[in-house]
Each structure stands twice: as structure tokens, then as C-alpha cells.
Structure 1
Amino acid sequence: FLMNFKEDGLESKFRTDTVVSDRDSGRVVNRNFHQIYLQFPYFTKELDECSTLSDKLMYALKNMNNWNRMPDALKEQVFSHLDRLAAKAHLSEGDRIAYDKAVDRYNVSRIVENDIREQAVAEG
């Protein structure tokens, strides 16, 4: 669970891993079912302190609403995709429809180009 608040029932730390267990016996019900709570107010690292991809992802999730543009330190491919998703989410309804149509036209063009290329290769 991604939480932008501190939950009173959880420990005062960023990540809490839980399992589902029987209340009376304490026996774990399913060893494969885990819940992870991420309390973002406890994630206090600054961008220059984030050395792992995981840290950078947590930093991005916590701070992306505050950006006008993505910080250069997060220009890796996964963060570029995340930035595009966030930018699309902030579009007006009309702009989002226009954007989706443009993306659809682009994808259809790429499919047609690939089909033509494959057909040309097959024909020699």
C-alpha cells in the first residue's frame, strides 16, 4: 500500500511487511500472501542520497506532484516513462483525448511500416 500519511497502527518507519495470520492461534494463513505498507512521510532521503534504483523510484513516487520537469538525476528510461504518465494525468480532458489520438496514429503508422518492411523482406 502506498500511503502519503503516517498510519497510527503501524510502526514509525517507511516500510512495514505484514502477513495474514489467524487472530487466535497466530498461525500464518498463507505464506505466499504478504502486504507491504510504504509510509512516504518516513521516506526522508533527498535525491542526491538515493543510490539505488529502488530509492530513486520511492523518491520519484513521493515527489512527482511537485515537479515542473523531471530532475536530471532521474533521466533513466523507467523514470522517463513515469514522467510521461504523470504528464498525461495532468492534461485536461480535451488535451488527453487529442494526445491519445496522436499516440494511436503513431502506433498504427509503426505497425503499417513494420508490416511493409516484413513484406518487402519476404518478397526479396
Structure 2
Amino acid sequence: MSGLQDKYINPLTDFGFKKLFGSEPNKALLIDFLNQILPEKHKIKDLNYSRNEQMGLNELDRKAIFDLYCIGKSGERFIVEIQKAKQNYFKDRSIYHSSFPIQEQAQKGDWDYKLEPVYTVGILDFIFDDHRSENEILHLIELKNQKCEVFYDKLKFIYIELPKFKKKEEELETQFDKWLYVFRYLSQLQDRPQKLQDKIFEKLFEAAEIAKFTSEEREAYEESLKYYRDIKNVVDTSMEEGVEKGLKSVAKEMKKEGEPIEKIMRYTGLTKKQIEEL
């Protein structure tokens, strides 16, 4: 079925995620979502979107392209990404990416090294192999010492394993539940559920209505949905050893259509070298 026959956009597509959470008119959506997962002291009142291109310190660092990068009113940095498929060294990549908002804070001259908090938020469309038997959906990772005491509380990694969320509409209790329900089921809905009548979700459903898109937006969304489905299909139907082969065929198609290498890397999780060799 064509994605344009759905009433609402799929927020896990590259286009859908940026449309709903990455644009100035809709930033209240991102703020509300982040505030469900942040500790009390780092709750956000306002934030500004920052362009990825400002991040790279040299030619090598241009690969640090994030879905969303924003800075809170108090200076906190947030990297927010959708991860569609498992990839090798996913955790390494997260740590590497978090180093950019840290280095970006360096000041010239007499600087005392004081840093603002850096958060990496990953919305995962897969389950970590080492967490398959656990029920926890949200993982908060911090730097701790041998006594399990927090050594440094300004660097945090928050991962949400979406496939573990199975609640039905009538079971939704918290605002966090409601957001997870939106991420998982928005594109399958025909009407706004009774449990999602808050003002913030009224705004979200309005922004997500495909009928209101321009023809350019509809085209961009359709293309984004196609790649998302290709990748999902690879992951859902392949045995573990066949996944990389399937992702390479998606990358090959994207490359043939002239998509930039950074975009192919983000969609498939393949390295630049793997893509160049296709």
C-alpha cells in the first residue's frame, strides 16, 4: 500500500521524523517528548536547532551528521536519532557522535573546561541482542565508578527499544506511554485516539496529516517511506548473516539514484568504505 494512502505520516521515516520533530513550528513536540525522558533538573523550557555542518572540526568529522541536534536554553546539548536497523559498532558510533557536542564547547583563550550536559537520545526500531530477555524499554547509561556511583552526570545516553512497547490505547497511562504509542502506531491510525486528546497531540496529529502536505513534501515522504520499508523488509525477513547483504542492496539502489553517501550511511548503517565499494 502506498504511504500516501495512510492518513498520518510514519514518524520513523527520515522525512517523517524531521517533519514532526525537527522544524521550528513543531519544536514544542520535541520539547514535550524529551521532557518525558530527562531528569528533573534538565527539563527543557526551550531549545534551538543547530545545523550539523557547524559540528565538524575537520574534513574527517563531517561524517557526524545527526537526525536532530539541538541546544537547550540552559546550554544542554541533545543529539536525537532514529535508528532503523541494528548495525555493527552501534554503541561505538553513539560514543563517537557524543564527542562532537563536547568538543564544540571548547573556548579560545583562558577556558576552565566547564562543560554543559550532553545527551544522546536514540529511538531504536530494534532490540539490543543483550537485552532481549529484559522488559525494560528505556535504558539510561551514565559514567559510573566501581561502586556504581555516578562519576560524571553531564554525559548521558538514553535508548528506547520501541519493538518492546506493546500497550494498547486503553492501557496508556503516562505521557511517555503516549509518545511511544505515537512512534509505533501513528501511521496506522485513522483518527486521533481518545487517550491522545491533549493539546500537544492535537498539534502533532495536525502536523502529521499527509493531506496537508505540499506536492514536494508528499514526494519526499514517499521516497523516505520506500527506503524505510526496504530496510524493514531486509531486517524482518533475513537471517542474521543475510541482513548486511540486504542492506547493501538497499544502499546500492540509493547510490544509483544519486543519494548522498551520508544519507545512505544513516539509512543503512553501512560504512562509507562499504558503500563506495558497491
TM-score, L = length of structure 2: 0.29
Partner residue, 2:209: 87
Q: Is the 8 A contact 1:6 1:41 kept in 2?
A: yes
1:8 paired to 2:94: no
1:37 aligns to 2:159 (yes or no): yes
Structure 1 vs Structure 2 CA RMSD: 3.0
2-structure distance, mates of 1:55, 1:46: 10
Counterpart check, 1:19 vs 2:164: no
How far apart are 1:33 and its partner, in Å? 1.3
Identical columns (%):
22
Contact 1:17 1:34 in 2 (8 A): yes
Which residue is equivalent to 1:54?
176
- The structure having more radius of gyration, on CA atoms, is 1
Contact 1:10-1:16 within 8 A present in 2 as well:
no
**Unaligned 5+ residue runs, structure 1?**
97-124
Could you tell me how far 1:75 is from its partner in structure 2? 1.4
1:106 aligns to what?
none
Unaligned runs of 5+ in 2: 1-121, 219-278
CA–CA separation in structure 2 for the residues paired with 1:14 and 1:89: 33
How far residue 62 of structure 1 moved from its aligned partner, in angstroms, is 1.6
**TM-score, structure 1 length as denominator?**
0.59
1:91, distance to aligned residue in structure 2 (A): 2.9
More strand per residue: 1 or 2?
A: 2
| Conservation of the 8 A alpha-carbon contact between 2:172 and 2:195 | no
Question: How far does residue 70 in structure 1 lie from its aligned partner after superposition?
Answer: 1.5
**TM-fit CA distance, 1:9:** 4.2
Would you say the 8 A contact 1:20–1:30 is kept in 2?
Answer: yes
Number of residues of Structure 1 aligned to a counterpart in Structure 2: 93
